[in-house]
Amino acid sequence: MEITFSLEEIDSVAQQILSANIKNIVLFHAGMGVGKTTLIKALAKQLGVQDMTSSPTFSLVNEYETENGNILYHFDLYRLNTEEEAYDMGIDEYFYSGNLCLIEWPEKTPNLIPLDHTAITIKQLPDGKRHVVVK
């Protein structure tokens, strides 16, 4: 699936992504400031998360409850220096919990990411729109 959108359309894009039968592990690939966290916030909103969502840059993972009682984990692995740090925080337990895991900067833990995942790549276009590829 490929979508080009403006930020005003992000809620609609989040709905489309969620209806695409994504896996429980979702990787977000994009440069700094391109919109990974913004898209994750929109996904959480569509899932009925009532809490204020924010990037877990310093905590590495935030946990949210969806409107139907499911758990959503939002990871920001940017600050990790080694895969061992992720392993020590129990990242594999999150990944294999059966809950939705939305992961920013998965490049930091390439050997820990489950093979069965969805990858979302976001690119910012010159006109300010975003182009998303979901695989």
pLDDT at position 56 is: 67
pLDDT at position 50 is: 86
C-alpha span between 69 and 47 (Å, rounded): 10
Are 77 and 86 in contact by the 8 Å Cβ rule? The answer is yes
pLDDT at position 51 is: 77
- Per CATH, the number for 2-134 is 3.40.50.300
Residue 89 in this model has a pLDDT that exceeds 70: yes
Q: Among residues of the chain, what percentage have pLDDT more than 70?
A: 95
Map out the domains of the chain as residue ranges.
Answer: 2-134
pLDDT at position 14 is: 98
pLDDT at position 44 is: 96
pLDDT at position 108 is: 96
